[in-house]
Structures are given as structure tokens and as C-alpha cells.
Amino acid sequence: MKRFLLSFLAITVILSLNLTQDLRAAESDTIPTENQKVKKSRLTIGGYGEAVYTRNFYSDNMFRYSYPDRYKDSPGHGRIDLPHVVINIGYDFGHGWTMGSEIEFEHGGNEVAIEIEAEETGEFEHEIERGGEVALEQFWIQKSFGKGFNIRMGHIIVPVGQTNNAHLPTQFFTCYRPEGEFTILPCTWHETGVSLWGVVGKWRYEAVLVPALNSNMFNNANWVKNGSASAYEFRVANRLAVAARIDNYSIKNLHLGVSGYIGNTFNNDIVTNEADKYKDVKGTVIIATAEFDYKSNGFVARGNFDFGHLNEAATISAFNKNNNHQSFSPYPRSLVGEEAVAAGGELAYDIFHCMKRTGDSKLYVFGRYDYYDSYIPYEGALTDYQWTERHVVTAGLNYYPIKQVVIKAEFAERFLKSQYNNEPMFSLGVAYSGFFVR
């Protein structure tokens, strides 16, 4: 796998350098005349990446919610992270056929090595040198019949929620992805399936058919977020789900969007339970979201609301706690809420706009508020994890020296119920998003 990734990156860099030189040569003759046209490359290479330093002024101990008094005076902890570094490659085959792919390195990817330990009589040791993930986030073939109708087949993004629809680091102001949606929904949510999409006038639509989530992976801290994960070499698809999205751009400078998801999630795993008492259990997950994005005269305003419901949450919670007991299983063995909610909004203003500065550089001062609860218990539940209900207030700056690069600084505080300690934090980050060849 490691050799494959190194080869993949080497090929990508070589193609990027060669094609970038060709593109620069084409652009060196200044602006094209009527008899001179710049040929658009069929190959596109781009990506995005983030590097973030965070100082958390609260304890990272796993028992900080169980015994909050023990950790109220904690000096905190710091971390440096590469949340997402992504390379995407696309190609236009012609006749309406295109290909898109995206490989993502989360938290720096992973590194594994075999070493000989001199202190242990030359014994070979298998060591993990860096935690993280490497994932193929997109790989699809698309046939376009026109602007209004396209079919995309392969590994695709499930466009449910504001962040899944706009997950580039230049599309939100916080150093990390907005906390509410990122907590309760898979993000970036990618599955293998089929998508139908198109643009008709001021409207854009999309409908997808993908494998359903896996209820064995649900938990109290993240609701259904981890239900898209698979510990196996394949994605189990005993049950399928549908998702849909509609976007409207009729009003100048305003984008409105709604999306939804529905799918049965119980027994969508490598081993199914055929006991009679579970034969009618479906574990249907229903998600509905709404959002807006407004930009004008240096102002940017965004907002989102997400609501989710899990049928038969009591049965699934009991099943997960009592049946997923194998010591090496990937299941969290956690209760899961019947409902979850996330709402957020941010307002920003470009200081350079009032200074009448020209060019692509911008300096946004912003504020953001998030509310979310990943565990709203079912009726009769004996446990109510009150630490899952949170308010987050964030204030900071975003400096764009050019359109594709942003430097971010922010202070945020997470407010929990009174019996817990609040969680303040400071973050500083740098990110880019753009195409190298297109």
C-alpha cells in the first residue's frame, strides 16, 4: 500500500510539473488575441490542505465528564494537526464522459515501520510511527447528457448538510470544520453508489443511491457519524439508502439549500442477526437539513440546521450494548439517541472592503455560534448523557493573501451544562484550496 501511494504521488507531481510548465508557456504570450486561444487541458489536478495548531485550556482526560471537579484546574494540552490534505485528479475523456478521483490524508496519514531492536537481541518489531488515515474519498465516472442531467457512478460525496456540500477549508471560517455537523454526521461523507444531478435555471438538484449506514457503529458522542465506516476490505450493502439535495440561486448573492437522507441501518453488517425478536427491526435513520449562504458588500452570512431521527433507538441501543461483545470487534458498544440536532451560524466582514483595497486579498473578522446535541434519548431511557448538549462560541480572523490561501486565527469556547467544566481553546491555522492544472 505504501509503495502504491508513493508511486501515485510521484506520478502526480511529475504530471503536475510538466503540465504546469506547458500552461505557463501558453500564458506567457500575454492575453490571447482573437486568433489566439488557450487550449483547456483535459487533465485537472488540484487539492486542498490544512495545518492547525490548537491549545486546549481544559483537561483531555477520558473521565472529565464523569468527575468534572477533579479536572477543573487542568492546565490543558496542545496539539498540532493536519486535519485534511487532499489531492484530486480528473480527466475529460470527451463525448460527455469524465472521471474524478480524490485521495485524502487525514491527520498526516499513517506510517508503519519494521525495525530491529539492538536492546532486544536483534528482535524485529512492528511499530506504528504515526497515526492517521489514508482514504480514497472520491472515484467516479460521469456521463453528461447536458447541463440539466448527469449520471455519476462510483465513490461519491453524499451531499447531506452544509459541510458535506462545501467542505473545502476556504469555504468556512473556523480552523476546523463547523463542530455541530462534524459531530453528528459523517464528514466528509463518501460512499460508493450512483448520483443523478443537474442544473435547471437557478436550481440545482441531486439524488443519490448508496449503501445504508451501519447501526452497530452508532454511539452517544457522535450519533450516526461513524455508521459510514467499515472495518472490512469492502462496504457491507445489505441495505440501501437514498439521499437528495436541492439548491436555489434565484436571489442575487444568496444560496439556499435543503437536503435529506433515509435508510434502514439494522443488520447492515458482515454478520446479520436472524433471531425472531429482531426480524421486524429496521433502524430507519431520517435526516433533514436546511442552510443558507449570503455574500454582499464585504459581508458573509451562513447558517445551517440539521435534525435526525433513529427509529427503534431503544432496541438498537440494547443490541449494541449486549450483543457486540467480542473483544476485538470494531463496535463501540454504546447507547445511541433517538434524535440528534445541530444548528449553527456565522457572520463575517471583510475589513479590506471598507478600505477600498483592490485585488484578491481579504481580511475577515468573524463570529460563529453552534448548538448541537448528539444524544437525545428515547422515551424511557435510563441514561441521559447531559454532556452531549453543547453551545460553542467562536471569534477570529481569516486573512486571504490570495483567493486560494487562507491564514486563520480564532478563540472558541465550548459551553456545557453547569455541572461540567467549559472548554476554551485557541487555534491558528493555514490552508489552501485550488487547482494546479485545469
SS (H, E, C) the chain: CHHHHHHHHHHHHHHHHHHHHHHHHHHCCCCCCCCCCCCCCCEEEEEEEEEEEEEECCCCCCCCCCCHHHHCCCCCEEEEECCEEEEEEEEEEECCEEEEEEEEEECCCCEEEEEEEHHHCCEEEEEEEECCEEEEEEEEEEEEEECCEEEEEEEEECCCCHHHHCCCHHHCCCCCCCHHHHHHCCCCCEEEEEEEEEEECCEEEEEEEEECCCHHHCECCCECHHHHCCCCCCCCCCCEEEEEEEEECCCCCEEEEEEEEEEECCCCCCCCCCCHHHCCCCCEEEEEEEEEEEEECCEEEEEEEEEEEECCHHHHHHHHHHHCCCCCCCCCCCCCCCEEEEEEEEEEEEHHHHCCCCCCCEEEEEEEEEEEEEEECCCCCCCCCHHHEEEEEEEEEEEEEECCEEEEEEEEEEECCCCCCCEEEEEEEEEEEEEEEC
pLDDT at residue 22 in the model: 40
- Cell, residue 220: 452517544
Residue 271 maps to a domain = yes
Whether pLDDT at 12 is above 50: no
CATH number (domain holding residue 85) = 2.40.160.10
pLDDT at residue 34 in the model: 44
Whether pLDDT at 426 is above 60: yes
Residue 3 sits in the same domain as residue 148: no
Q: What is the largest CA-CA distance in the chain?
A: 76
pLDDT at residue 105 in the model: 92
Residue 185 sits in the same domain as residue 323: yes
Better pLDDT: 151 or 132: 151
- Cell, residue 304: 445551517
Residue 24 sits in the same domain as residue 59: no
pLDDT tens for residues 182-208?
999 999 999 999 999 999 999 999 999
Residue 169 sits in the same domain as residue 256: yes
Share of the chain above pLDDT 90, in %: 74
pLDDT at residue 272 in the model: 85
Query: Per-residue pLDDT averaged across 86-111, rounded?
Result: 92
Residue 95 maps to a domain = yes
Q: Give the Cα separation of 271 and 263 in Å (integer).
A: 19
Q: Give the Cα separation of 102 and 330 in Å (integer).
A: 26
Of residues 347, 350, 394, the one with CA closest to residue 370: 394
Whether pLDDT at 255 is above 90: yes
Residue 5 sits in the same domain as residue 108: no
Residue 40 maps to a domain = no
pLDDT tens for residues 31-63?
444 444 556 789 999 999 999 999 999 999 999
Whether pLDDT at 263 is above 50: yes
Better pLDDT: 262 or 15: 262
Q: Which residues lie below 8 Å from residue 404, measured CB to CB, with a gap of 6+?
A: 170, 432, 433, 434
Residue 133 sits in the same domain as residue 17: no
pLDDT tens for residues 100-134?
999 999 988 776 655 555 554 556 565 666 667 88
Say how many domains are in the chain.
2
Residue 37 maps to a domain = no
Residue 49 sits in the same domain as residue 192: yes
Residue 6 sits in the same domain as residue 76: no
Residue 26 sits in the same domain as residue 50: no
Q: Which residues lie below 8 Å from residue 392, measured CB to CB, with a gap of 6+?
A: 179, 180, 368, 369, 370, 371, 412, 413, 414, 415
Residue 317 maps to a domain = yes
Residue 36 maps to a domain = no
Model confidence, pTM: 0.86
pLDDT at residue 327 in the model: 62
Number of Cβ within a 10 Å radius of residue 318? 12
Query: Per-residue pLDDT averaged across 150-155, rounded?
Result: 98
Residue 133 sits in the same domain as residue 14: no
Q: Give the Cα separation of 131 and 105 in Å (integer).
A: 11
Paired strand residues for 261? 243, 287
Domain of 169 in residue numbering reads as 45-112+127-433
Whether pLDDT at 168 is above 70: yes
Buried-state track 98-131, b at ≥16 Cβ within 10 A, e below 16: bbbbbbbbbebbbeeeeeeeeeeeeeeeeeeeee
pLDDT at residue 326 in the model: 63
Whether pLDDT at 20 is above 70: no
Residue 235 sits in the same domain as residue 353: yes
Residue 13: band (very low, low, confident or very high) from pLDDT cuts 50, 70, 90: very low
Residue 370 maps to a domain = yes
pLDDT tens for residues 413-425?
999 999 999 999 9
Q: Which residues lie below 8 Å from residue 267, measured CB to CB, with a gap of 6+?
A: 238, 239, 273, 278, 281
pLDDT at residue 438 in the model: 85
| Mean predicted lDDT score pLDDT of the chain | 88
Residue 6 sits in the same domain as residue 150: no
Residue 314 maps to a domain = yes
pLDDT at residue 345 in the model: 97
Place of cell 475589513: 351
pLDDT tens for residues 351-405?
999 998 878 899 999 999 999 999 999 998 888 999 999 999 999 999 999 999 9
